[in-house]
Amino acid sequence: MALILITITGISILSPVISSSLSSVAIKSTGQIVATQLFDNCDSAANWKVGEAKNTLGIDTVDKVEGTASLKMTFAATGSNWGGLFYREPADVWDFSAMPLLRMRFKASDQMPANFKFCIVTATEQNPDDWIINTYSILDKITVIDSWIVIDFDLRFPENYVEWPDLRYIKQIGFQCWDEFITNPVTFRVDRIERMVGALIPLEAYVKPNVVYLIVNDSISFQVFARGGIEPYYYAWYLDNQIQPQTSATFTYKATTLGLHEVKAILRDSNVTSLTLKANVTVIEASRPIQADSDIFKSDIRGVFLHTPWGYNPQWNVIADTCLSYGINTIVIETYTSHFWSGSGIVDFQELRTAITAFHNKGLSVHVLLCVALTPDTGMKAKNSAGATVDWLCFTKNVSKTMLKAVAESLARDYDIDGLMFDYIRWDTENGFICFCNECKARFIVDTGLTDVNWPADCLPSGRYYWDFIQWRCIPVTEAMRDMRNAMLAINPNLLFSAAVWPAFQDCGNYWVEEIGQHTADWVDKGYLDFVSPMVYTTTLTGTDSVDQLTRNSRDFYVGGSEGKIPLVVFTTIDIDGSPRNINNFVEATRLMRNNGADGWIIWRYGGPGLTAYFDVRPYLGALQETGLMEPIWTIQNLTVSINPGRTAATISWTTTVPTKSRIEYANHPLFNATVRYDDFGRPIYYKDIDYVGGTIQENTTLKTTHSFTILITDETRFRIQCIDANNITITSKEILVLATSP
């Protein structure tokens, strides 16, 4: 017989078998019934398990709240380890949907590890074999050490959820601590775990799938998942803003028209609360071309950087002619946010438009380099730990986000650029450790849950939350890149994105994450960049911090090796501290970069005809031509994917402008993996390292200009193609999903 206490408007009705130690639960203002049901009295450890060696699980018959015992759990009880799991599982599944609140008595005898969480594992109605781990913050609930407290978990709201757990199919509950090295025993106790009815929650919902690719004449069903509010629910569906006849939670769509379509569901509950949910459908031909004429399909990216040319009366047509005649194919022009934003709005930058036209007339690609954090308006500036304003953008402020989005949209809409290169997308280190403004404080507390932070002292070096702050401050920087990229792609989906970044030195690890909040490998992993440009500004060719070492380390760490996840296009220089670089040294540096897997280079900075303020670049480009480092550029073109009617196979074909050998690599999993590392080099923070995983490879070693492979596919299959010319120059595409429309 279940032990149940029911409280109705303050009047308690007790079952005669209820223990007198069970407290009644305060009635909610809605007047609904609130019930408490015993889940585990914790008098026995027989139903619980311990998942890792050196952890122990038992009972404590002395230190308890009620009954005969409490559960006693200890991490690293018999030696150091990396945490682990204490858990309980049902014979089949538990259904907590009617009573989703879990209340327990909890006592921490020691300071709990930073990664300590409560967790449940759920399945779904569609797939009972699913193993979905949901975690719940507990550290913020542990208000005292070595005293019993009451902790409640609303299982409907795990951390960082997008799709809520299906509490009808709970397969495990437990306490976990993963990826944290524990040197001394850490003990906690749990007693009397109860289930409770949850309070009413507002209406919320999501639609699945929300992004999908369909071959023309295929069909798919969309479904709205809703909870909260007042049932029953009412549904209306729209396709491209045209009302559809379906009025249930599902909508079936048949793809008849090519292109991008919007599916919209309007959900209303009985309290007249409504939500609008949207999904995007891209309908494609079974055989279709993929854009393959951009910079990333060239055998070599050869660029020059135009450094602050605006004040030197540049002659754009002359510069374009010079670059074309010396084999340059890419122009990178430096700009600042202040070129596009003034006070409270967008301003026009006509001279940039004039420059772009001049270079495009000669067939040169134009990438605008934007110094993201420089020249901010006063209201957007960061603050150091002393409260002083620093001339550097605070990425957290809403006014900064508004400005960056507007600048990004203007660049994509108003200027015919081929790509955007992010620069100065990091925190400053020269004018004080930043940022400690009020917005950063509020966001830090929300994101980390560290409500007891003594700001800023706790976040400074040697402060108790210093490493939490270091880990956190990467987030606003990365979000700025993500949001600007998304805003621009919504206007021009053919744009390329890159970043000028600090290079990876030997054992670099998480150094730049700590120093400047620049997490390059994370950007590559998330797909935010089409190529990456480490700044290798040194004349040392080999050895420590040399051209050789910095190129190799950046290649391995940022892109996963030669022919990596994305191209590596190295920033090099002909200007060394205001003096012209030795030409032979420059040539050997270029050769080393190529031998170490670089897919191109960008010279800092252009000088010569049309812009005489800087050292003349022509002798350096001429030397590269004379030494055989400027072979004619060739490209991949006409890349096409054709899928058979049963969607079991695809033929991938393309052409090259010179005869090449060809290769295709494919798999039903990503070809590259971001390995998450922690606590390297005495810095206890997480960071990523891009590693090559690989897949199945087919190749044709005959030199020819037409190429074709047929592969078996699933909806998860992705591929990349590779061509090698007679000089062993290689072009490797990005990883492409078979059902996607572009690389």
In 3D space, the residue among 513, 523, 534 whose CA is nearest the CA of residue 471 turns out to be 513
Q: What percent of the chain has pLDDT above 90?
A: 76
DSSP string, 611-662: BTTS--SHHHHHHHHHTT--PPP-BEEEEEEEE-TTSSEEEEEEEEEEEEEE
Mapping DSSP to helix (H, G, I), strand (E, B) and coil, where does residue 21 land? coil
- Quick one: pLDDT at residue 740? 62
CB 417 within 8 A of CB 366: yes
User: How many other CB atoms are there within 10 angstroms of residue 147's CB atom?
Assistant: 11
Structural domains of the chain in order of their starting residue, each with its CATH number: 24-196 (2.60.120.430), 204-284 (2.60.40.10), 301-632 (3.20.20.80), 634-742 (2.60.40.10)
Six token digits for residue 381? 């500036």
DSSP assigned state of 153: E
Look at the block and give the residue holding tokens 């538990």.
94
What are the Cα distances from residue 379, in Å, to 285, 374, 393, 526? 49, 13, 9, 30
Q: HSE on the CB side for 718, CA within 13 Å?
A: 17
65 with 171: CB under 8 angstroms?
no
Token readout for 302 is: 């050869």
600-634 burial code (b ≥16 CB/10 A, e <16) = bbbbbbbbbbbbeebbbbeebbebbeeeebbeeeb
| Ordered DSSP codes for 254-315 | E--S-EEEEEEEEEE-TTS-EEEEEEEEEEE-SEEEE---SGGGBS-EEEEEE-SGGGG---
Question: How far does CA 393 lie from the centroid of its chain?
Answer: 21
String of DSSP letters for 210-259: SEEEEETT-EEEEEEEEESSSSSPEEEEEETTEE-S--SSEEEEE--S-E
DSSP state of 322: H
Question: Phi and psi dihedrals of 437, rounded to 5?
Answer: -75, 170
Say what the pLDDT of residue 287 is.
55
**How far apart are alpha carbons 161 and 225 in whole angstroms?**
14
What residues have CB less than 8 Å from 16, skipping those under 6 apart?
none
* Three-state SS at 713: coil
Write the pLDDT tens digit of every residue in 152-174.
Answer: 999 999 987 778 899 999 999 99
656, burial (CB in 10 Å: exposed 0-12, middle 13-18, buried 19+): buried
Question: Taking all residues of the chain, what is their mean pLDDT, rounded to a whole number?
Answer: 89
Strand order in the sheet with 419-423: 531-534, 496-501, 419-423, 365-371, 330-336, 301-306, 600-604, 569-573
Which parts of the chain sit beneath pLDDT 50?
1-33, 292-293, 741-743
Predicted confidence at residue 17, as pLDDT, reads: 32
CB 674 within 8 A of CB 687: no
Q: At what angle do helices 438-448 and 474-491 cross, to 10 degrees?
A: 100
Q: Which of 115, 188, 121, 195 has its CA nearest to residue 152?
A: 195
Nearest one of 557, 568, 622 to 594, comparing CA atoms: 568
Q: Which of 328, 339, 497 is closest to 421 using CA atoms? A: 497
Half-sphere exposure of 181 (CA within 13 A, CB side): 8
What is d(CA 491, CA 497) in angstroms, rounded to the nearest whole number? 14
d(CA 280, CA 270): 28
As a whole number of angstroms, the distance between CA 489 and CA 405 comes to: 12
